[in-house]
Every structure is written in structure tokens, then in C-alpha cells.
Structure 1
Amino acid sequence: MTHQEISALWDVMSEAWAAGDAQAFATVFDPEVEFVTVRGEEHHGRDAVEKSHAALFTTIYQGTLLKPEVRLVRELAEGLCLVHATTTVYPAGITTHAQAVVRCGRAGWSIVAFHNMIPGGTR
């Protein structure tokens, strides 16, 4: 497990966000991911994550950038890590904090659980 390999997942998200490419954005998530949005909405599976982000990329977040910072990677078991990451959406200035569980499988690292929130006072 390396911090760099796991941070690369957020780099993919950032690049896909800038391109408005929901399909590429969703590739970092496990096909069976459990994803909770900043609004508390639950998305089950990669397809649902892709669909919800496709809507964001063609409406309120069209033309925006996502700057991630992976702040913590803690190994929970071999091939399984807890991750804390912050992201800021520009130019909106919205900063989110995510807690994720990532797993290393045959295809490499993927996010199997993701809970995103906007910390109090940063709206």
C-alpha cells in the first residue's frame, strides 16, 4: 500500500471533474460502492455515482475544477485502507471532507465506501 497509489484515485477524480466526464470520474469506485453525498443521498453502485455526477457536470458544477488533498491513509488490513480527503470546488469555493474505504483487488485500488460532507462553517 502506498499513499501515492491511493492519492492517484483522487487525481483521476480531479481530472475527470475538470473534463466534465462522469464515466471517467466513476472509474475509481468499486462496482458495488456505497456512496453518500454531501446532502446525505445514498448511491449504491458505480453506475449510480456516474449518473449523479453526470447531472452535476451538466448543471451546477459545469466548468468547475476539483482540487483534492488526501490527508490520511491508514491501513486497516492487508489491501484495505481508511482514507480522509478534502476537496475544494473552484470557483465555487466549496470544500468537502470525505471518509473512504479503499480496497486493492486484481484491478488495483478502488473506493468501496465513500461518505462526503461539507464541514460546518465552510459553506
Structure 2
Amino acid sequence: MALVGEGIGASMNVRRFRFGPLVAASVIAIVASTACGSDNGAGQDTSAPPPASASVPSAADETAVRGLLDKINEAWARGDATAYASFHTADADLIDFRGTHAAGRQAIIDLLQPAFDGVLKNSRVEARIVDLRFLASDVAVFHTEGKIVPMGDNSIQTFVATKGPDGWLIAAFQNTRIQAGG
């Protein structure tokens, strides 16, 4: 989620942006999509049906991917950056609302733990999944809307999750503030 305050991560191993194959594929997949859906049923699904070669996710896979949001939010509420990072792939990309890029679990820990010990102490994330799609049997993209309580502004987040030997993990995360009127 978003980080609040000046200088967070300024002296840490945090990079501005790295376009690896996973990030490039994620950006292409996201740009190619027509719109974010909504769980409230108000929107009309105008997306094309999945290609015949795409596999339909199992109920267990969908539950596991949705459960990632609960797991990271629980780790956030505990102020535990190590637990938070453990639900990410070893080479995960996390980009906060300021554009700060943390590449890999250790960089995520280095970015978040000082914030959890400081400006984000005793905060929690309130977010809900507004769209979830499986691009393949082992790749899912989901969008959430939410904020950090008590001090955050409304944001939309994009997650890319992958299924590997350790189950479903977050491979990429992008957080963006929702602008007024948007």
C-alpha cells in the first residue's frame, strides 16, 4: 500500500524502476484489458471470452489468490515487513504511490519496516478486490481499491500473482492514488 512521509527508503536498497520480463508482461496484460470490473454487479462485462487454450482456475486457486490480500493486510496490521514480504516472490516488484520501487523481498522489508516502526505504526489497510482475472493457470491479475487507516488517501492497486512450488505469491504490485473525479 501507500507509504506516508518524507525520506522513507532514501538510504535503502530501493530502485526507481526496473523493467524485467514479468513487469513488461504484466504491463502489456493490464494495458490490453478493457476495464477494471466491480464486485457490485453495476458494470457490464465487455471483455472478450478467454482463449480456448486458457485454463479455468480451480476454486482452490481463486481462494488462494484472494487470500493473499488478507495475508498481506494482516502482516501490515502487525507491522511485520518480513511476514509481508514472505507473501511475495523472491524477485517481486513493489511500487508505492510515490513511484518508489522495491525489487525483491529484502528491498520490500527495507522499505516497509522503517515505515511500520515510524509513520505507519498502528496503521492497517482497508482494501477490497474489485477485479480478478486468471491470465493462465499460474498467473492472476487482481485490482483492489482501498486506503491506509487512519491516514491514507484512496488508492487503486494492481497485483500480479504467480503460482509456483510455494503456492500463490505476489510477483508485482503497483499502487496509485485515485485522483478527485476519478
TM-score, normalised via structure 1 length:
0.91
Residue 63 of structure 2 is aligned to residue 4 of structure 1? yes
Displacement of 1:93: 4.1
Residue 166 of structure 2 is aligned to residue 110 of structure 1? no
> In the alignment, residue 176 of structure 2 is paired with which amino acid?
M
Match of 1:61 among 120, 123, 139: 120
The runs of 5 or more residues in structure 1 that have no matched partner are none
Identity percentage over the alignment?
25
Residue 160 of structure 2 is aligned to residue 101 of structure 1? yes
Match of 2:106 among 31, 36, 47: 47
Deviations 1:89-114 (A, max 9, x none): 11114222111111011111011111
SS in 1 for 2:74: helix
Paired residues of 1:79 and 1:104 also in contact (CA < 8 A): yes
TM-score, normalised via structure 2 length:
0.63
SS in 2 for 1:94: coil
Measured in 1, the distance between the counterparts of 2:82 and 2:147 equals: 20
Measured in 2, the distance between the counterparts of 1:68 and 1:23 equals: 20
Larger radius of gyration: 2
Aligned length: 122
> Could you say which structure has the higher strand fraction?
1
Measured in 2, the distance between the counterparts of 1:71 and 1:120 equals: 17
